[in-house]
């Protein structure tokens, strides 16, 4: 049995203030084993991005537990969570989130430098080469295509060798062919490094490339393709 990397228990979260408050996550339980690839789908506004933000430690739960690789994020300070995230979790967004006045190399190296990692520029150069951007190190984001910008973002996410890679609609801003290439890159990196991959997508075909599919609706898990655990099966029988 593979080790559990994500263990979310009764995760509950309401966002916004009084008049505009939304009960976004309604007591979600979720267990994910190390090495799984999980495609998260569901209608717009169902809480997918919020769920990823919680799993990345970027949004705090109102109640419930979030354990990542046995670290209880719900019980840690913001600084502890930030430090944990920097070392263990890579994040890729739909809109790339690169820093416009930094080159591709700096976008990848500077976060490593800030985290006191040794040889940040060497690692950044290696990661950019590994995503096919060895010839674009000194380009600024504005001088790169959408697909190339997403490759920089993937190199940045992979640079600290995270155990968990989280991607929120990573192909959402790309044309079909470029999107497929980016998906190929994510899956090949996942296999090569034995990472756990969680990705939110509106593309069912992309979700089906994952080993497991989860459908979120209205802040709850509506369906989960994961095989039923033996103890749950016994409880049903």
Q: Which residues bind Mg ion (CB under 5 A)?
A: 49
- The DSSP line for 50-116 is HHHHHHTTSS--SEEEEEETTEEGGGS-HHHHHHHHHHHEEEEETT----TTS-HHHHHHHHHHHTT
Instruction: Identify the burial level of 226 via C-beta atoms within 10 angstroms of its C-beta, where 0-12 means exposed, 13-18 middle and 19 or more buried.
Output: middle
Rounded to a whole number of angstroms, the minimum distance from the CB of residue 52 to ligand ATP is 8
**H or E, element range at 23:** strand 22-33
Please name the residues in contact with 140: beta carbons below 8 A apart, sequence gap of 6 or more. Answer: 100, 101, 102, 103, 104
Number of residues that bind ligand ATP (CB under 6 A): 13
Rounded to a whole number of angstroms, the minimum distance from the CB of residue 143 to Mg ion is 28
- Using the rule CB under 6 A, give the single segment among 27-35, 41-49, 77-85, 121-129 that binds ligand ATP: 41-49
CA-to-CA distance for 7 and 30, rounded, in angstroms? 6
| Nearest residue relative to ligand ATP (C-beta) | 16
Q: Which is nearer to Mg ion, 49 or 190 (CB)?
A: 49
Q: Choose from Mg ion, ligand ATP, none: what does 47 bind? Cβ within 5-8 Å by kind.
A: ligand ATP
Place of tokens 């190190």: 137
Rounded to a whole number of angstroms, the minimum distance from the CB of residue 223 to Mg ion is 18
Site for ligand ATP in 47-86 (CB under 6 A): 47-50
176 binds ligand ATP, rule: CB under 6 A: no
CA-to-CA distance for 170 and 227, rounded, in angstroms? 26
Q: For residue 99, how many other CB atoms are within 10 A of its CB?
A: 13
Q: Choose from ligand ATP, Mg ion, none: what does 45 bind? Cβ within 5-8 Å by kind.
A: ligand ATP
Q: Which is nearer to ligand ATP, 93 or 123 (CB)?
A: 93
Contact 32, 38 (CB under 8 A): yes
Contact 46, 220 (CB under 8 A): no
What is the per-residue binding string for ligand ATP in 17-36, x denoting contact by CB under 6 A?
---x-x-x------------
Please name the residues in contact with 103: beta carbons below 8 A apart, sequence gap of 6 or more. Answer: 137, 138, 139, 140
Q: Choose from Mg ion, ligand ATP, none: what does 39 bind? Cβ within 5-8 Å by kind.
A: none
45 binds ligand ATP, rule: CB under 6 A: yes
Q: Which is nearer to ligand ATP, 17 or 116 (CB)?
A: 17
| Nearest residue relative to Mg ion (C-beta) | 49
Q: Which residues bind ligand ATP (CB under 6 A)?
A: 15-16, 20, 22, 24, 42, 44-50
């Amino acid at each position: 049995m593979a080790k559990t990397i994500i263990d979310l228990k009764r995760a509950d979260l309401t966002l916004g203030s009084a008049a505009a408050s939304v009960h976004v996550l309604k007591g979600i339980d979720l267990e994910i084993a190390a090495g799984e690839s999980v495609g998260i789908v569901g209608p717009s506004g169902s809480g997918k991005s919020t769920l990823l933000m919680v799993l990345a430690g970027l949004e705090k739960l109102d109640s419930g537990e979030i354990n990542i690789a046995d670290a209880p994020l719900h019980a840690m300070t913001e600084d502890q969570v930030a430090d944990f995230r920097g070392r263990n979790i890579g994040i890729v967004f739909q809109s790339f989130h690169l820093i416009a006045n930094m080159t591709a190399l700096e976008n990848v190296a500077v976060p490593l430098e800030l985290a006191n990692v040794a040889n940040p520029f060497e690692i950044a150069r290696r990661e950019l080469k590994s995503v096919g951007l060895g010839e674009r190190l000194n380009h600024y984001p504005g001088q790169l295509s959408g697909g190339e910008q997403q490759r920089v973002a993937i190199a940045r996410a992979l640079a600290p060798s995270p155990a968990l890679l989280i991607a929120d609609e990573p192909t959402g801003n790309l044309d079909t062919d470029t999107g497929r290439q980016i998906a190929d890159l994510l899956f090949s990196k996942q296999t090569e490094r034995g990472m756990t991959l969680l990705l939110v997508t509106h593309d069912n075909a992309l979700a089906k490339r994952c080993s497991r599919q989860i459908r979120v609706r209205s802040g709850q898990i509506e369906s989960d393709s994961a095989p039923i655990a033996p103890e749950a099966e016994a409880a049903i029988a």
